[in-house]
Structure 1
């Protein structure tokens, strides 16, 4: 018998099953179904930025603020150098980092010249110490070289923590130089020899004695001072140091009255800064061998003064609370005063009898 024709309902069922199979097959090809391999996710990579290199801060000499090729560990060497006419020109003075000028008996002046960054071949003429020297040199905690001095003055230097290097006591490095002024104006010394005999307690480099700007244009006088070209000082009837600004070198040039001041090398004596301070001058109660009263500059004190740096000047206040404290400089309103990097001369001008004139 011939096969019976398919019923419509059966044909519709077969069509539905076929469509369902196709749909299932298509779904099984979806890559997100479990039948497909998992896609591995790459971990996030953290980007770490390298730190910028640390700035290179140059090594600087503590007393001048000038850059040094490499650090040199040696103490400050303070030397008492005389300044009457017969003692000029002095040797090595142009290489000092800091020089203090003070009035002694008879109205003449003497220097405490401090050496550290430079090593002169010789220094002199060297003379005796005075009662204000401990207050000048004590903050350096270094060496004090001199020739002679009253026992009390010498003992005060030792009590201030300085290593005493006395020609009279036979310290090495001193000699009498031929061909210069007669004794007592002929005592000289070799700084290198003095440094070689520093003891363990006085071998360290000094701390800064003034606040020094990193760059000259940032110094207080340069930033906020008034134009200045000359600084005329009267220390006594005998001593009239003068300083004039030299634009070419950016320094202040020294004269003794109207005579240009030069060192024995022929170099003009110059300074990056001149600090002129009004100070009290009192009788120390002692006399020199000729019977002249020995004055004392009072430095454990305070007062006013002037700083000249580059071609400008600024009024300052100064204070020093103790013998071993560093002298500080501020503006009249109390802001710290910074100096131009380089050498500094400190002029101790008697307030009652001396004068400071800036022009």
Structure 2
């Protein structure tokens, strides 16, 4: 069976139930926010040895967050499309739980967690499927060194996890037309203490080409990763109660509340405000009090320190 056939088999049932939510808008009007279920969130490794990652191009949303040592990890949320394989899969953090509460019982795939964080995961409103709980869905690849070689086959998770639109579930609005305002911009870099993300506007692709730590980010087959919209969301990043096995304290990025953001779409940068009133709510982005629509397509959100 070809790749498209495998994908269709993986999400057809869910797509029939929520087809309206899964469709990208094609007109010029703002799409209203919607809620969705049946989403798959996968914690993705993001150091040099883990690249190129597999399956990121199929994510509705890619979140970038800070972890120990100032490094970064990704949370890829899948709904509209489900990849055959995704990874490398790594461990969860406390930041992930507040972030995922907006998605109404998502499935979280991860390699494991610190014992205190695992207790929080067990109490969280999500379906937790770490490597040790559902080993049939995970495998080790000989193409990468451990621990950067754990991959997931989503179709083996035991139930359909695709069909809803994660972007709509997150409260994002979309419109094909370019909003008024903003400033022309062709490049934006966001720096963590030991990592950085750069987004370059490609007028021919009408996408923001992704680079990480100074290198072009590509898919497993060598295609450049590219986002329709990039959100640099400035949040409170503080020390959590937890640490890794080496004793380094884990950062905690707070995504409930309000603050400022820069939204990149269509070669322009918009100074915006974000607001998320509670963990069960999506995040609204506005300019001068009016909703700011994103460009239809994949969204990258980078949580930068305020």
Aligned twin of 1:341: 296
1:213 aligns with 2:169: no
Matched, 1:131 2:94: yes
Show the 5 A alignment for 1:17-56: none
| Structure 1: segments with no counterpart, 5+ residues | 1-58, 68-72, 352-359
1:156-235 pair list within 5 angstroms = 156-181=120-145, 183-194=146-157, 196-197=158-159, 205=164, 207-214=168-175, 216-217=176-177, 219-220=178-179, 223-235=180-192
Query: Structure 1 residue aligned with 2:70, among 104, 107, 110?
Result: 107
- Indicate if the aligned counterparts of 1:278 and 1:349 stay in contact, CA closer than 8 A: yes
CA distance in 1, matches of 2:182, 2:240: 36
Question: How far 1:171 sits from its partner (Å)?
Answer: 4.7
Question: Which piece of structure 1 moves more, 319-328 or 336-345?
Answer: 319-328
SS of structure 2 residue aligned to 1:127: coil
- Normalised to the residue count of structure 2, the TM-score between the two structures is 0.84
1:304-343 matches, cutoff 5 A: 304-331=260-287, 333-343=288-298
Report the secondary structure of 2:136's partner residue: coil
In 2, the alpha carbon distance for the partners of 1:130 and 1:258 equals 25
Residue-by-residue CA offset, 1:268-320 (whole Å, 9 max, x unaligned): 11000000011111111221001111111111221101000111111111122
SS of the residue corresponding to residue 120 of structure 1 reads: coil
Report if aligned partners of 1:94, 1:267 keep a CA contact under 8 Å in 2.
Answer: no
Q: Give 1:136-155 correspondences, 5 Å limit.
A: 136-141=99-104, 142-155=106-119
What corresponds to 1:287 in structure 2?
243
Match of 2:15 in 1: none
1:239 aligns with 2:198: no
Alpha carbons 1:92, 1:122 under 8 Å: kept: yes
Structure with bigger gyration radius: 1
Once the two structures are superposed, residues 225-250 of structure 1 have per-residue CA deviations (whole angstroms, 9 ceiling, x without a partner) of 221111111122x2111000000110
Between 1 and 2, higher relative CO (CA 8 Å, sep ≥ 6) is seen in 2
DSSP-derived class of the 1:138 partner = helix
Q: Deviating runs (4+, > 6 A) in structure 1?
A: none
After superposition, residues 295-306 of structure 1 pair within 5 angstroms as 295-306=251-262
Long gaps (5+) in structure 2:
1-18, 27-35
Task: State the TM-score, normalized to the length of structure 1.
Answer: 0.72
Report if aligned partners of 2:65, 2:72 keep a CA contact under 8 Å in 1: yes
1:60–1:208 CA distance, 2 compared to 1 (3 A): same
Deviation at 1:213, TM superposition (A): 2.6
Deviation at 1:197, TM superposition (A): 3.1
Q: CA contact under 8 A between 1:65 and 1:212: conserved in structure 2?
A: no
Counterpart in the other structure of 1:274? 230
Residue of structure 2 in register with 1:43 after alignment:
none
